[in-house]
Structure 1
Amino acid sequence: MNRHFLVRRTFARVALRLSRWRTAGTVPPRGVLVGAPHTSNWDWVLTLLLAWDSSVQIRLLVKKEFFRGPLGPLLRSTGAVSLDRENPGATIRELIADAATDESFLLGIAAEGTRSRSDHWKSGFHRIARQTGLPITLAYVDAPSRTVGWGPTFAPTDDLVADMDRVRAFYADKRGIRPELATEPRLREETRGVE
């Protein structure tokens, strides 16, 4: 392990201990990470601590507005990737190309797309996983147990509803920091039958 990861891992373990949070699960070698429930800005901090505790770098998709001002350099240094929600194609194409050559590619996506309650999740995580052939890992924050962790990993299929049933079953007992803001894991495409 290089010094950079050792320093981050040590910091993460101290921070988690002091805040009385713990990590759980096994980090996947590569894949598309779905982070949920996403109800607070603390989710980003906890996800970083999870990654650093596991000595991995996650490329977290973050809306471009957060990169303005002094927060931009901090976000870039932690692996965040700027996403223009109005025109995400260029960023996604670049990430898909990286996934083809990077043996430790981990892309983190908050599928809820917002910290506020919404009607649907965004389907990009499933589409990117299918386009790249990467598995999906369900990462989570569970405030009642003060746990941030790596959940199950599975290969996405052509059966979107079955895949989302699996996602819903996993997140059914997970509660975010502000549970009243959580969005049920449901994609708009499930009712249309297309992705």
Structure 2
Amino acid sequence: MRFCAWLLKTAGWRIDITVPDFNKVIICVAPHTSNWDFIFGKLAYCAIGRKAGFMMKSSWFFFPLGLIFKAIGGVPVHRSGKGPSLVEQMVKRFKSSANLALAITPEGTRSRTNNWHTGFLRIAYEAKVPIVLGAIDYRIKLVSINTIFEPTGNIETDMAAVKTFYKGFTGRHPEQFDASISN
């Protein structure tokens, strides 16, 4: 924990994580414009003594990489199109786990997109787990998670509220971040 905090401080980053340490939670993270987002997010969460997982294609979980990915929080998911959907897999995982914190980037890519994925909203609503809104702001070098978002089940309204929250944050590559609301 101390090492992670020291690394962030040495790099000039601050941490502002004030949400409770929920047993089960989805951590929505944006802007997602760089691979560095993963590193800064993991370091910040580790610095305060918490662990969070992330979804990854199950095909990456082969020996020896699978051991490494699981050790750092990787959660294998099957995206073949056969069997349960990604949302169904994660709802089942939340319902069968006593503790699960899962970081999800709704943009689903580091490239510019306005088409954010809604799966995190559906997972949280169906599994009855809270969402916390986490941001990695490169302009002010801040990793923050200080807002709890309770999904209503209305995907369009919920997504508009989430995107509005993120409008004030700056990704590593600002030109690749789009939190505009469009229909």
Please give the TM-score of this superposition, normalised by the length of structure 2: 0.84
Write the mapping of 1:33-52 to structure 2, written as runs, cut at 5 A.
33-52=27-46
Q: How far 1:103 sits from its partner (Å)?
A: 4.1
Gaps of 5+ in 1: 1-8
Find the residue that maps to 2:148 and give its secondary structure.
strand
Q: What SS class does the counterpart of residue 54 from structure 2 fall into?
A: strand
Listed one character per residue, the Cα deviations across residues 55-114 of structure 1 (whole Å, up to 9, x for unaligned) are 111111234566578754432211022334444836654543342254432111111001
Name the aligned partner's letter for residue 17 of structure 1: K
Tell whether the 8 Å contact from 1:121 to 1:185 is kept in structure 2 after alignment: no
Within 1, Cα distance between the matches of 2:134 and 2:159? Answer: 15
CA gap of 1:100–1:44, structure 2 versus 1, over 3 A, is same
178 and 63 in structure 1: CA distance in 2 versus 1, 3 angstrom threshold? farther
- Residue 114 of structure 2 contacts residue 178 of structure 2 at CA under 8 Å; is this kept in 1? yes
> What value does the CA root-mean-square deviation take over the aligned residues?
2.5
Unaligned runs of 5+ in 2: none
Alignment map for 1:48-63 (pairs within 5 Å): 48-63=42-57
With structure 1 as the length reference, what TM-score do the two structures score?
0.80
Cα distance, 1:185 vs structure 2: 6.0
Candidates 159, 163, 168, aligned match of 2:163: 168
- Give the total of aligned pairs: 180
Contact 1:120 1:184 in 2 (8 A): no
In the other structure, the counterpart of 2:18 is 26
How far off its partner does 1:160 sit?
A: 2.5
Match of 1:145 among 140, 143, 161: 140
Q: 1:177 to 1:64 in 2, by over 3 A?
A: farther
- Offset of 1:50 from its aligned partner? 1.6
**Higher helix fraction (1 or 2):** 1
Residue type of the alignment partner of 2:76: S
Q: Which segments of structure 1 move beyond 6 Å, counting only runs of 4 or more?
A: none
For the 8 Å contact 1:120–1:185, the answer to whether it is kept is no
Offset at residue 32 of structure 1 (A):
1.0
